[in-house]
Amino acid sequence: MTGTSVDFQVISAVSNNLVNEVMDRAMQQVLEDLGGVPFDAADRAYAEAIRATLSPTDLEAPWRVVAQEPTAAPLCDWIVPLRPGGDKMIGSTDVSDVTWAVPTTEVLVACHAIGTPGHSWQLTAQGKSAAAHKGMTHAASAMALLAERLLTDAELLAAAQAEHARRLARTPYTSPPARRSCPAAGAAPRLSRAPSEPPQAAISRSRSHSRAAAARICASSKAV
């Protein structure tokens, strides 16, 4: 309708995580050895106050992820089994590209009330709570202990490296932006309306281009 021209270029993206079962099992063992985060009565009382502001959907969501029946527990102070088989947790992180360079694992430790949605005021409100600091300290202890085990157990380290090498041999790493052809800088715009083209036709064509562009961009989040 306005005759506006649009062009785009994908200049950055992130890969999917390259799983390392050896590292994941080692971290799981560390967590089981450490036990749950040592929350106290004050931590639970604050978590209950936060949970009172959450919706039923919020409160149920974490239980679907861990494939467990919901309880009234305000904080997770137990160890969840490795890959419990529940709903997938979806997010984005540039650590994913690091996993293609070196064997990597991740650890999730409770720092807020069960049911707290990400990017919410409730999450922000708990960021400086005693429970959050206990959870972060627990996570740091887990990472340090796993690092110690990797440095002192040559067989464990070799097994993690061997698995990483096998996975890379099957699927070599390429940087996400390099997987697609991007328009050269200064290229002619691809979405424009000819003087004789009806405005509605231009809008329809623009939407089709937008859907195609979204499909291309979304493809960057799929497995390599």
Mind listing the pLDDT tens digit for each residue in 28-56?
999 999 999 999 999 999 999 999 999 99
For 163-195, b/e burial (b = at least 16 CB within 10 A) is bbeebeeeeeeeebeeeeeeeeeeeeeebebee
- Find all residues with CB under 8 Å of 31, minimum gap 6, and list them: 79, 107, 142
Provide the 3-class DSSP secondary structure of residue 57: helix
How do residues 162-213 score in pLDDT, each as one tens digit? 999 999 999 999 888 766 655 555 554 454 444 554 545 544 544 444 444 4
What is the arithmetic mean of pLDDT over 114-119? 96
- Ordered by start, the domain boundaries in the chain are 1-16+174-224, 21-170
Which residues lie across from 20 on neighbouring strands?
none
The CA-atom distances, in angstroms, between 100 and each of 10, 143, 146, 165 are 21, 19, 19, 10
User: Which residues, including other chains, have CB under 8 Å from residue 207's CB and lie 6 or more apart?
Assistant: none
Helix axes 130-152, 21-34, angle to 10 degrees: 120
Per DSSP, the three-state class of 58 is helix
